[in-house]
A and B are shown apart, each in its own frame.
Chain A
Amino acid sequence: MTESSEPAPPEDAPSARIDDVLDTPETGAEAAGETGAEEPLGSRATALDAPEANALAARRRPTVLVLAGAVGCGKTSVYAAIYERLGRGPFGGWMFAGSRTIAGFEQRCHWWRTSSGGSEPYMEHTRANDLPWLHIRLRDSESREPARDLLLGDFDGEFFDQLADNRMQPSELPFLRRADHVGLVIDGEHIAKVTARAAERQQTEYLLERLLIPDALAGTDALSLIVTKSDCLARSRDAEGAESCLAELNQRASKLAGRPVPLLRLAVRSQDPQFPLGHGLETLLEMLGLRPALQIAADPEPYEPATALGRFRA
């Protein structure tokens, strides 16, 4: 790491500097300019790590979306599809305004393309030590509003499996409370199959209950249900049973949350031509656009006026 020219912190400063949290790539590049060394401008990793995500948030408040669900349920595919779909033009009223992790999106979309050499679309499972944050900037197609930053949390499904079965606590996944939107992912392919439905349902309920523990999320408003591979539901031999299961899950979520929980259906990379690339993403982006931020408010301790004048009410 390049030496910083910042003055030494005072003796009683906390042992960790904010710089550890807010590592700014430009600082390294500017320092490199001073030393004459060849230094990378920014990370060529395929996603942002925590300090880089924080450095981005320090400039402009991003909307943070985390999709929570088991391994293989399609979380990464949703993120890849947003990028791949924008690669063909604006959609859903949004246009691509930039990304710090284009390489990350390209790496993920690679498995859907002929350049991968595969004969059918595929997506690599996210690993625990993969950098988690994908970044994309969107602007409304009419350019009426400023561009908005989205940080997409691409986490290993194993974290959520452990959360669901109580091997992990929500406090160990602090990104959950930071997220403005948490999409609990339900694997539509499993719901569609009678033999897999019960297990998928149970796992969803476990995860739901864990996510709705007080203080796990920024608020119950953060939660939505995201059904991936919803094209499978249309082909299901027991479509009615599948729909009934989803309705019950939605009801359960709404009851636990104390408010209606939205349920979105996606089929982002279907083999069925009725479901084009990115099917359902417009609704997801609309949801993110309508409420880009979820703030956690806390009132001060109540103040009891001490005088009659202070207690006066009209």
Chain B
Amino acid sequence: MSSQPHGVVMLGLPSSGKSTYLGGLFHSLKDSGADGLRLQGLPDERDYLIELEKAWLALEPLERSRHHGPKHVELPLLLGEPDDARPLRLEIPDVVGESYEAAWEYGQWEQSLQALLRTARGLLLFARANAVVAPELIEIHPSKGESSGERSPWEPADSPTQAKLCDLLEQVGEMRREAFPAIAVVVSAWDSVADLGLAPADWLQWQLPLLAQWLTSHKPTLTQRTFGVSAQGGDLENEQVREQVAIHAGERPVPLNGDKLTAPLRWLLDHA
């Protein structure tokens, strides 16, 4: 096995689905694997992963991650077909979204996160499909009575999702002197928008056009692809859906035009 772990960093604002994804991914890799990717064995440090997996299997919403800084997660993997698999040590720390929120608001980065980003060989950029904050211009006609007319100063926290994500990428670019690794954009909670019938890349262009342009404009030096992923497998607030999902809790359905949990990671490993 290679002595150097293969680093993949998850980037995304709070509640964008990073930890839920990690829990579901761990189970998928452990259980049967997919996309020619599976666990070679259980990692020594696995308590955090088991906690995430438990919550995922129990269809429970994850509490907001409380740890500070990136939580070290290392997975020993086998990559490839069963008779031709090669071992690989994947380092995929769980980073609290607040770290990225602070990076946007203050330009502050934890040293350990900076170090990971500088050496990462792949980025998973999370954007939650049903939680996009979009810029909304004041209507041409007077407001419909909701606004008091009293203006409030700008708060960075209230900025649109696409602005924050682009800015994070810009800061990562500064760290890495514009030498980006492959970026897999993970549109999480894909089930919530699957009915629209759009491919994930088209959804990105529609809902996060600034980010879509940023990614396109960096080609061909930047390799990127957009995936639609549903770690939960559906809207767990809906009792009917919840019951359906619970029947096969360990294997969630892939929504229309969506991708398996392992797909973004496999793609990143192929494009490292």
Contact = CB atoms under 8 A, between A and B. Distances in A.
Interface of A: 25-26, 29, 32-33, 36, 38, 40-44, 84, 86-90, 95-100, 102-103, 105-107, 109-122, 137, 139, 143, 147, 271-273, 277
Contacts of B42: none
Contacts of A117: 147-152
Contacts of B154: 106-107, 110, 116
Given A29-B175, A99-B166, A119-B143, A113 B210 contact: no
A113 B213 contact: no
Contacts, number: 136
Contacts of B158: 115
B172 to A, nearest CB: 10
Query: Which bracket fits the contact residues of B?
Result: 35 or more
B107 interface: yes
Contacts of A26: 174-175, 177
A119 B149 CA distance: 5
Given A95-B213, A98-B170, A106-B159, A41 B109 contact: yes
B217 A95 contact: yes
12 contacts: A38-B108, A41-B103, A42-B174, A86-B213, A87-B209, A96-B213, A103-B159, A103-B167, A106-B156, A114-B138, A117-B150, A118-B150
B111 interface: yes
Interface in B121-153: 135-138, 140, 142-143, 147-153
Nearest to A89: B209
B217 A147 contact: yes
B108 A87 contact: no
Which of B138, B153, B169 has its CB near the most chain A CB atoms (within 10 A)? B138
Which of the listed residues B174, B213, B219 has the most CB atoms from chain A within 10 Å of its own CB?
B213
B107 A86 contact: no
B48 interface: no
Nearest to B103: A41
A293 to B, nearest CB: 20
A40 B135 contact: no
Given A112-B137, A115-B136, A118-B147, A89 B213 contact: yes
A25 B175 CA distance: 10
A40 B156 contact: no
Residue picked from A25, A32, A42, most chain B C-beta under 10 Å: A42
B174 A41 contact: yes
B244 interface: no
A119 B166 contact: no
A86 B208 CA distance: 11
Given A84-B137, A116-B138, 10 more contacts: A26-B177, A38-B108, A41-B171, A87-B209, A96-B210, A98-B166, A98-B170, A99-B170, A119-B138, A147-B217
B217 to A, nearest CB: 4
Nearest to B168: A102
B167 A102 contact: yes
A43 B103 CA distance: 11
A74 to B, nearest CB: 17
Interface of B: 103-111, 114-115, 135-138, 140, 142-143, 147-154, 156, 158-160, 162-163, 166-167, 169-171, 173-175, 177, 205, 209-210, 213-214, 216-219
Given A87-B160, A114-B147, A147-B217, A120 B170 contact: no
Nearest to B149: A119
Contacts of B114: 29, 33, 41
A116 B213 CA distance: 26
A98 B217 contact: yes
Most buried by B among A36, A107, A120: A120
* Most chain B CB atoms below 10 A, which of A88, A110, A112: A110
Given A26-B174, A102-B166, A41 B107 contact: yes
Contacts of B115: 33
A281 to B, nearest CB: 15
Contacts of A84: 135, 137
A220 to B, nearest CB: 33
Contacts of B169: 98
A120 B106 CA distance: 29
Nearest to B142: A119
A275 to B, nearest CB: 10
Contacts of A41: 103, 107-109, 114, 171, 174-175
A1 to B, nearest CB: 15
Given A113-B135, A113-B136, A95 B152 contact: no
A161 B153 CA distance: 27
A114 B158 CA distance: 11
A87 B107 contact: no
- Shortest beta-carbon contacts, A-B, top 7: A97-B217, A44-B107, A110-B154, A96-B213, A139-B217, A95-B213, A40-B107
Nearest to B109: A41
Contacts of B156: 103, 106
A273 B114 CA distance: 46
